[in-house]
Amino acid sequence: MNDIEFAPAGPEHGALLTLEHVTKAFPGKDGSVLEILHDTSLAIDRSELVAIVGPSGSGKSTLLSLLGTLDMPTSGILRYDGGDVNAMGERQRSVLRAARIGFVFQQFHLTATVSALENVMTGLQYTTLPRGERRQRAAEALEQVGLGNRLHHRPAQLSGGEQQRVAIARALAKRPDIIFADEPTGALDCETGHTIVDLLLTAADSGASLVMVTHDQTIAARFPRRLHIQDGLVTELDKPNQAPSDEGLSAKG
């Protein structure tokens, strides 16, 4: 299969990311089918800030994995910048993620035996950037998150909050179109967690979209757009502290 051509980034080409009538299902233990996400259509625009909230086990991480192309829909279409992700092979999706998508997770996923700088550089290893530029970008990203004086420290020499900053720098070094954060404050104390959210929101000021899964309503309230997922249905919350509306973005098929 030939590499898929994407439309150039820009508002004239519509939303950055869209789900079109997407369903995600998994086989149950008794041979049944468990549908985690029902017929769902939604769009994420460029430079948009979105929080995803919902009860534990409601499918928040599943939705994030689909949006981030880490998993594929059971049915329906996923489009990235006008390109049909369903038509890609895994190698092409890997190239897309490496070049244009940043991820931050609850667990830091840092390599214990190498420095903060080298950990950030690993996020660029599947790009075509020469090593010198990868090193420069990594150093700049660590400076951006306030760790310019910790470049050569290994994870064990850093606090939990500093380790999460390294993980954020790893995502930022790509200069991505969009950053997906899955409960990035879950392993941190409250004060440190809010500092991490500050960093992510500030990073998004450069133009990247930010989509964050969180169980913390005070964090979610800082986002201008919030999506609520429950029982496989995604609904739009117009205002902070507003209950889910009866009419959602999706309907059970």
Using an 8 Å Cβ cutoff, are 171 and 123 in contact? yes
Residue 253: pLDDT band by 50, 70, 90 thresholds? very low
Q: What angle do CA 46, 48, 52 make, to 5 degrees?
A: 130
DSSP 80-148: ETTEEGGGS-HHHHHHHHHHHEEEEESS----TTS-HHHHHHHTTTTSS--HHHHHHHHHHHHHHTT-T
- 113 or 99: whose pLDDT is higher? 113
Rounded Cα distance between 39 and 29, Å, is: 23
Retrieve residue 166's tokens. Answer: 């390294």
**Structural domains present in the chain:** 14-237 (3.40.50.300)
Using an 8 Å Cβ cutoff, are 137 and 119 in contact? no
| Segment 159-173, tens digit of pLDDT | 999 999 999 999 999
For the ranges 95-99, 119-123, 198-202, 242-246, which has the lowest average pLDDT? 242-246
- Note the pTM of the prediction, 2 decimals: 0.86
